[in-house]
Amino acid sequence: MADGKNEKPSAFSLQPSAALTTDLLRHLQPHQVLTHPAERLNYRYDAIQFGVTPLAVVLPESTADVVAAVKAARAAGVPIIGRGAASGLSGGVVPLEESLVISFTRMTGLKIIPERREAVAQPGVITLKVTEAARPHGLIYPPDPASFRTSTIGGNLGENAGGPMCFKYGVTGDYVRELEFVDAEGEVHRVTRDAFDLAGLLIGSEGTLGLITEATLRLIPPPKYTRTLMAHFAEVGQAAEAVSAAIAAGAVPAKLEFMDRACTNAVEDYLHLGLPRDAEAVLLVDTDGDDLEIVEEERALVERACLKAGGVVRRAANDAESEALWRARRSISPSLGRIRPQRMNEDIVVPRSALPEVVRQIRALGDASGFHLVQFGHIGDGNLHPNIMFDPRTESAEAVHDLAHKIALVAIEHGGVLSGEHGIGTMKRDFMTDAVDPVTLGALWDVKRALDPAEALNPGKILPEEKR
Ligand SMILES: Cc1cc2nc3c(=O)[nH]c(=O)nc-3n(C[C@H](O)[C@H](O)[C@H](O)COP(=O)(O)OP(=O)(O)OC[C@H]3O[C@@H](n4cnc5c(N)ncnc54)[C@H](O)[C@@H]3O)c2cc1C
């Protein structure tokens, strides 16, 4: 969102800070340090928000380069922002003040160790590349954010990214065995999942506790068989009921995705796939495994639950049909881009049993607000993405923020949380006081201060100022 709540984005700084630049160039090559205003301007964005133009941008090629950049920034008293592909949806890489951006896109080293079923990746590796490199060895890397063709491993770790496969296979953090990171003082650490699980603390910390420079990731063999079905329903409650019944009966689908009517119609307007425009809810489901009979039976089980709940079911007859159905899900973002130039992408998680009521309440809020609102998400996990579509030239950013706040409150009232996979960033920072009690917020600030006493790493993200 054009960041109405944060400070006004400054005009880009013509002087990138001589002391900082000189220090950076003592340790790094000129092509690794961007100081021209036109180059720096590109680093004030994530996928939907923009902020202040950074003072300089560093493109490290090694951990030693990251150390040099952190030490130079600290000596100059400049905040540091780690950045991957900037596909984030919550403002995680958006500078709130003049900062040094460390962009990891040139740290793309990747090694597959088949005998250990591991990948060792630098942070700039594109997510999909891990599975592409692992496949010839009969292995895959399951975390699959819809952005996996552009997002990076560093950014996935920063946000603890999820994706459609996460219901059965788990999120990014479930695949981390070891991390190397550079702390706020420029010291290098290697941490495993053992004592205090410091690696776990860094995962999902949005670059506020340390900069990850290498990750050892777990790989698994891919399932041999996959079966797909689509079901559509006259009412959202029926879809949620079908999901709960299928899971209660023992199904653990590999993917379990939901689209509401507004979302289905947006995709249909864009792709003309023959999606059911009148349905209030569409479910896309994959079952998978190594035993075809069990995979087919699991799909039949989901199918029976959908039919019993009043749904209409369509099985994908082959891989091509399955691919067409999943293309609909992957095309939500470009479809929404045709409706309004900007969107605020909510990321709440609620108990599955609360989904019908939550979806209804959010629809009512959207209709009352006058904004175009669509809902979709990983329904198996109760992770819902209400998207508020808007035009910043004609619609108020404050009104968008206000609606997003009301949506967050609906999630909290139903025992949910603010973020399933996109992080808090700046977008939901103000809602943290609604979601987290003051004692816990104080503890989060204590953790931040213990690892980054000068608050140099990605300041202004996640933690609300007033509980400092
Ligand atoms: C079309 C679209 C679909 C998406 N679908 C999904 C989805 O299905 N699931 C999902 O989870 N997300 C999704 N996202 C959101 C986004 O892609 C993810 O949050 C992704 O993990 C961000 O990766 P990135 O490389 O772009 O990170 P960035 O946006 O560059 O950074 C994200 C955060 O990580 C921090 N960071 C980056 N690198 C490092 C590092 N090396 N060390 C420490 N911190 C670091 C940054 O400071 C920032 O706080 C989607 C986004 C888009 C645009």
The pLDDT of residue 40 is 94
**Which residues have C-beta within 8 Å of that of residue 356, sequence separation ≥ 6?**
235, 236, 237, 240, 241
Question: Which atom of ligand 1 approaches the CA of 123 most closely?
Answer: 41
Q: Tell me the C-alpha to C-alpha distance, in Å, between residue 351 and each of 170, 240, 358, 389, 466.
A: 17, 11, 10, 25, 29
Residues of the chain with pLDDT below 50 are 1-12
Please indicate whether residue 458, judged by its CB atom, sits closer than 6 Å to ligand 1. Answer: yes
Question: Which atom of ligand 1 approaches the CA of 82 most closely?
Answer: 47
From 99, 70, 94, 103, select the one nearest 182 (Cα to Cα): 70
**Amino acid identity, position 316:** A
Classify the phi-psi angles of 460: left when phi > 0, otherwise alpha if psi is within -120 to 50, otherwise beta: left
Please indicate whether residue 85, judged by its CB atom, sits closer than 6 Å to ligand 1. Answer: yes
Question: Which atom of ligand 1 approaches the CA of 212 most closely?
Answer: 42
* % of the chain at pLDDT higher than 70: 96
Residue of 87, 331, 336 to test ligand 1 pocket, by largest number of atoms within 8 Å of CB: 87
Dist CA 78 CA 84 (whole Å): 19
Residue of 151, 211, 345 to test ligand 1 pocket, by largest number of atoms within 8 Å of CB: 151
Dist CA 164 CA 161 (whole Å): 11
Chain mean position to CA 145: 7
Please indicate whether residue 66, judged by its CB atom, sits closer than 6 Å to ligand 1. Answer: no
Task: Locate all alpha helices (DSSP H) within 54-143, ordered by sequence.
Answer: 63-76, 127-134
Helix axes 63-76, 18-27, angle to 10 degrees: 160
**Gap from CA of 159 to ligand 1 centroid (Å):** 6
CB atoms within 10 A of CB 439: 8
Question: Which atom of ligand 1 approaches the CA of 158 most closely?
Answer: 34
**Which residues have C-beta within 8 Å of that of residue 86, sequence separation ≥ 6?**
43, 45, 46, 47, 93, 155
The pLDDT of residue 15 is 62
The pLDDT of residue 81 is 98
The pLDDT of residue 13 is 52
Quote the DSSP letter at residue 62. Answer: S
**Gap from CA of 154 to ligand 1 centroid (Å):** 8
Dist CA 128 CA 156 (whole Å): 11
Dist CA 56 CA 454 (whole Å): 20
pLDDT tens figures, 137-170? 999 999 999 999 999 999 999 999 999 999 999 9
Dist CA 426 CA 296 (whole Å): 44
Please indicate whether residue 212, judged by its CB atom, sits closer than 6 Å to ligand 1. Answer: yes
The pLDDT of residue 429 is 95
At residue 447, φ and ψ (nearest 5 deg) are -60, -45
Which run of H or of E encompasses 342? strand 342-345
The pLDDT of residue 336 is 92
Please indicate whether residue 159, judged by its CB atom, sits closer than 6 Å to ligand 1. Answer: yes
Dist CA 379 CA 233 (whole Å): 14
**Which residues have C-beta within 8 Å of that of residue 49, sequence separation ≥ 6?**
1, 2, 3, 91, 94, 426, 427
**Which residues have C-beta within 8 Å of that of residue 265, sequence separation ≥ 6?**
277
Q: Cβ(256)–Cβ(301) under 8 Å?
A: no
From 322, 239, 323, 251, select the one nearest 282 (Cα to Cα): 239
Query: Atom 53 in ligand 1: which residue has the minimum CA distance?
Result: 87
Q: Tell me the C-alpha to C-alpha distance, in Å, between residue 416 and each of 92, 168, 183, 353, 458.
A: 22, 20, 32, 11, 26
Please indicate whether residue 207, judged by its CB atom, sits closer than 6 Å to ligand 1. Answer: yes
